[in-house]
Amino acid sequence: MTLQSINPATGEILAELAEHSAGEIEARLARAAAAAHRWRFTPVAERCKVVARLGDLLDAEQQRLGRLMTLEMGKPIRAGAEEAAKCALACRHYAAHGASMVADEPVADDEHRSYIAYDPLGVVLAVMPWNFPFWQVIRFLAPALVAGNVGLLKHASNVPQCALELETLVRRAGAPDGVFQTLLVDSSAVADIIADPRVAAVTLTGSERAGGSVAETAGRALKPSVLELGGSDPFIVMPSANLPLAIETAVKARTINNGQSCIAAKRFIVHRDVAERFTAGLVAGMEALRVGDPLDPRTQLGPLASARLATELEEQVRQSIILGARALCGGSREEPKSAWFPATVLIDIPENAPAYRDELFGPVACVFVARDAGDAIRIANSTRFGLASSVWTNDDAERDRFVREIDAGSVFVNDMVVSDPRFPFGGVKSSGHGRELSELGLREFTNIKTVRMRIAGGARDAATE
């Protein structure tokens, strides 16, 4: 079987790559296992140098890499270059701070020398999506390599060239053979790879269905997993907010990456006193976006990653309109079989509609009107997701209440949600479990080992357990 790389803007087949055979998968697993034994005993300073060099390559070649992302999944080319630059930033963060994150942590303990050690687990399988084809991988890989783990990547089937390019970059950065490898395999092969005793852990970014399947397989094998799944993030606007800035940010937050981001703002929950002004501004902003060739640096909104995804999004919108929602702009494709979907704003959305219940992965903004702060929190939490949230208010009491009561992995106040290597990233409820980024993400795939040494000549404890 083959994996196809297709330009979603044109439908052109860019490349066809053969899937790895069972023999090639076995060979790569064997190389990973051998590399894991050597890499864990490589001094952390040397591991950090490799990650730093990887960052340098990503930075120096961001234009070329951004173009590759644009060709394979359709993001605006400026966004692709920015993604490569962000990957470089993450690599440099872990290269600079990773050694302290895995350093032995002393614990005060009379008559003992005690500390917590952070040992690598070994081979980590990463099952990654297409929407940020470099960033999703680097945010797992940079901390994993610094911690002494090695990586196997099962990337989304529509970005195989990005997957292979990542393997090449890591090798060019000086990583030894087997430290990071791409597996060109179908999703049906993932369960057997997770179950392989040489694989120590798995991380996945993707859909609820994929996350449930991976978690089930990892659980049966008694292996840890980190899951970053879907989101239907609230963007709450209260009367005290800077409304022009909130509107400007809302347009960007909903259409970043052509609307295909787990942490894109999706549900705009607006206090009734400012709902009319906010909605009018949001519609105007969405309609003003420059739509066009994603290779054109002026383009603000390109195609979705495939025609299939556009069809699925259009059906969610259509069903929501049938059930009572109204589209103030957009709502359907001009060309039924294309990957292009227009910027859309929906209002009057009933609770049984897909636009209320589910994640809409594309440039569709859903507006809800709230009576007060309590009602806004109710609407924000009335979803099975809990990834991130954005709150716009200049009232101190409201701000503190939103931070405490919103069920999400992060709350951004008067700002757009972003991922940042300095802060833990992840969600609750159906948005997954575990954390990526920061020292907490690095330590997800370590053996947090307690070490307690009695000092020679010390008095025996009165009681022990």
Q: Taking the mean position of all CA atoms in its chain, how far away is CA 419?
A: 8
> For residue range 165-219, what is the model confidence (pLDDT) as tens digits?
999 999 999 999 999 999 999 999 999 999 999 999 999 999 999 999 999 999 9
Q: At what angle do helices 44-60 and 62-73 cross, to 10 degrees?
A: 70
Q: Catalytic residue at 228? A: yes
Task: Give start and end residues of each alpha helix (H) in 323-386.
Answer: 354-357, 373-381
Residue 192's alpha-carbon distances to 24, 130, 185, 200, in angstroms, are: 14, 22, 11, 13
Cβ atoms of residues 423 and 394 within 8 Å = no
In this structure, the strands spanning 112-120 and 446-454 are antiparallel
Residue 465 has pLDDT above 90, yes or no: no
Q: Catalytic residue at 82? A: no
> Cβ atoms within 10 A of the Cβ of 464, count?
5
Closest-CA residue to 7 (of 106, 77, 83): 77
Q: Which residue has the tokens 């099952």?
A: 127
Superfamily covering domain 2-224+445-451: Aldehyde Dehydrogenase; Chain A, domain 1 (3.40.605.10)
> For residue range 274-294, what is the model confidence (pLDDT) as tens digits?
999 999 999 999 999 999 999
Annotated catalytic residue, options 87, 91, 162, 262: 262
Length of the chain in terms of residues written: 465
pTM of structure = 0.95
Residue 388 has pLDDT above 60, yes or no: yes
| Mean pLDDT across the chain | 97
Closest-CA residue to 407 (of 424, 387, 432, 425): 387
Instruction: Check residue 456 and give its pLDDT.
Output: 77
With bands split at pLDDT 50, 70 and 90, how would you rate the model's confidence at 1? Answer: confident
Q: Per DSSP, which regions of 67-132 are E strands? A: 105-107, 112-120, 123-127
The CATH number that domain 233-413 falls under is: 3.40.309.10
Mean pLDDT of 153-157: 98
d(CA 251, CA 353): 23
> For residue range 22-32, what is the model confidence (pLDDT) as tens digits?
999 999 999 99
d(CA 325, CA 320): 6
Residue 161 has pLDDT above 50, yes or no: yes
Annotated catalytic residue, options 72, 165, 167, 228: 228
Residue 457 has pLDDT above 70, yes or no: no
Instruction: Check residue 49 and give its pLDDT.
Output: 98
Instruction: Check residue 462 and give its pLDDT.
Output: 42
